[in-house]
Structure 1
Amino acid sequence: MQFEKGRKRNEPSYLCTLRFEEIEQASGPIPGVIKKLLTEFEDVMPDELPRKLPPKRAVDHEIELVPGTKPPARAPYRMSQPELVELRKQLKEMLESGIIKPAKSPYGAPVLFQKKADGSLRMCCDYRALNKITVKNKYPIPLVADCFDRLSRAKYFTKIDLRSGYWQVRIKEGDEAKTTVVTRYGAFEFLVMPFGLTNAPATFSTMMNQVLHGFLDEFVVVYLDDIVVYSGTLAEHVEHLRQVLTRLREHELYAKVSKCSFAQETISFLGHIVERGRIRMDPKKVQAIEEWRPPSDVHELRSFLGLANYYRRFVKGYSEIARPMTDLLKKTETWNWTPQCQVAFDNLKRAMVTDPVLAYQISKPFTVETDASDFALGGVLMQDGHPVAFESRKLKDVERRYSVHEKELLAVVHCLRLWRHYLLGSPFVVKTDNIAVSHFMSQPKLTSRQARWQELLSEFHFVLEYRAGSSNHVADALSRRADLATLGSVAALSSSAVATSVRDRARELLSGDPAAQAWSTSSSGAKLGSFG
């Protein structure tokens, strides 16, 4: 009203709007004193990274190559016209920000695009050839027991996540040429650490340990890329957080506020929940077992007992607990799921997911076993055959249309992402019953989807091993839980998807058949038509 009066009288009038922005977090409300502190450090939590190179620090990313190896160079991948437009745009933005510069180098990694959930395109670098000849770094990881010991004595916790953390780390001077990517519009080398390089997590963790040196084991825990500030009282937490944010400011490091959680009394850390002096297992770690529904027939019962029997040596009195169910497997018995069977089923599930059964030792190597079915994927994390965590989830509609090869690869990617905090920093083995997946790292060319997966896999130091499906009991059972096989999942399998599945399975079997390989070699000069 006052604005209208001023306008009619030809008086100078101004209209402005004030926007009040609350810092929100999914985990819980932020105490007022913490909100006040965060306003003092708004420059440490910008909406986007400054358009300049990060400073050179004591820790930059070094790429040490295996002696005697030659620089790997690949030809650019072909792109569609919309992708070329996006490529030109992203290259221009990175050049202006100083992230990349034109290169003249014997190295060359191709790039391709992965469509994100919002429809935008994300550029991925295929560094598999470079990673293959890079010396894998080992770096010290804090003892988990020590981390929990310190956290259990605290009441307030803050988790800090850096914004595009890798892009805040410089490539060591002299190693920039090794990161060269080749495109339709020329070759470019990175001046900051790009996604897809092996040893990147090691560099990031080492840098954060160096930056926060002096705070470690006092009120800060750095475990890989998890940064946790912990305190006994809120007043202490304000002071501790102030010191950490000041240190980030001094080193020109920037946090992403939407990914941080501040001054919480409960925190999820390394597969456990820490709360008011108590540490308990994160329910997600055993959700795949706890949500297993009672069997409705002998086939489903065999599937469950196949998994349970694999771990019988870890369950005291296994035979006696399982007897009501194993009796149902006798040919002389008709199917009758009694209350005694239900009690046995519940007791066996409970025994399999107790802390003593799922305990692990940081010094022992891990093994990951995965499997995928038409409707779900599953996996188990183990040490010397001892279970540490289970996973099972239903495939999304779009994932059900993946080829057999990509479903199996998705199972590997999903499980490694889920158990990342266990697996980073040490070599381990991934066992899969799909031959094609076991050769993924040497596959000549990637699809855009596979390129995104390769970026995640490049963080780990692992070997893919083929394991026959008949010996992959646990992951197989988890990927075939009856409650995940809904009518809708079957209906979603179109005839083309089924045909693709059959073709993929045929190719997989033929690739392992010496006679078929010999025939393929002898007839390589013939002109053949497609039978698919």
Structure 2
Amino acid sequence: MYYDMKERFWWYGMKRAVAEYVAICDTCQHVKAEHQRPAGLLQPLKVPEWKWEEITMDFIVGLPRTQKGYNSIWNCLSAWRTQENYIDRGSQFTSRFWEQLHDSLDTKLRFSTAYHPQTDGLTERTNQILEDMLRACAIQYGTSWDKCLPYAYNNSNQASLKKPPFEALYVKRCRTPLFWNQTGEKQVFGPDIIQDAEQQLRIVQENLRVAQSRQRSYADVRRRDLSFKVDDHVYLKVSPMRGIRRFNMKGKLAPRYIGPFKILEKKGEVAYRLELPPSLSGVHDVFHLKKCLRVPEEQAPLEGLEVQEDLTYTEHPEKILDTSERNTRNKRIKMCRVQWSHHTEAEAIWKREDKSSIPPLSLLTSLSESRGEILVKGI
């Protein structure tokens, strides 16, 4: 914008004035791409105090149907061990049945935030590993992948645990057909069972803390810290595809951001509940802060400037912000700080009280008084 304007206009501090206007322009906030590091530092999951204390679940669907009729994977995951169950998944299973089942079991469900799969990074990362193994099993065993996948994953060494999930849970290696005799029955009775379990628990917890610290150290380098307050207003970022399906935004040239929306509540460290309009009642109202763009405290005026043919326009005082008196040798002069039309409070100027109402100003005189002299070229 600056390079387009400087061909015809000039005033002192013009480049800075243009940059300040673009920063608070509502249209610019809706359409411009954000060229910054992703917002929100990594939030490691809490290290559980005991096995299966907290679990996360996800579904991998659309898989080739096996000989037993399975076409989906239910990934039930804790920090110690994952267990894959193969089910025929339908939409009712994940909606009415799922909520009623856990309500009867007095289990608290915590759904992921909208359009942010990294909310549960542990499950998402495990899904990637499972899909890699599943491809290999499908190539080798075809439609019998459901027989070998659980063993292949649960007996593989995990970098975070430094041991296979099966061993972390049962304190012994899983038997294999190749080395069947290497794993015998562990004869432990009485208090020794509790001591072994507690020792295994401390080892796993320490390994998880070390892994989380390492992951956070290199993840936060590519991120930036950002936070909002309740009652702040933010723009909400929508992708072209999801904008069409969920936010009624059509076309590739639709705005990148919609809103602004008011923040009602802070959920955790990096998620916020927004006050969405009734037209978006079907959209989950909790979003990760990386989808939010802060609304500037000061908005650029949207009303147009009616410029006459002789390049003049009319200004009138809108309100008096402050008053004061100045003493001279002969008299006392009353002054008032006046905000004029088409100007913000920061651009208010001091005027003598008896001269606050002034006649129409020319474009040159007005801009030279508030921002310096302006030159018009090529008009």
TM-score (norm 1): 0.18
Q: More helix by proportion, 1 or 2?
A: 1
Q: Which has the larger radius of gyration?
A: 2
Q: Which structure would you say has the larger RCO, counting Cα contacts within 8 Å and 6 or more residues apart?
A: 2
TM-score (norm 2): 0.23
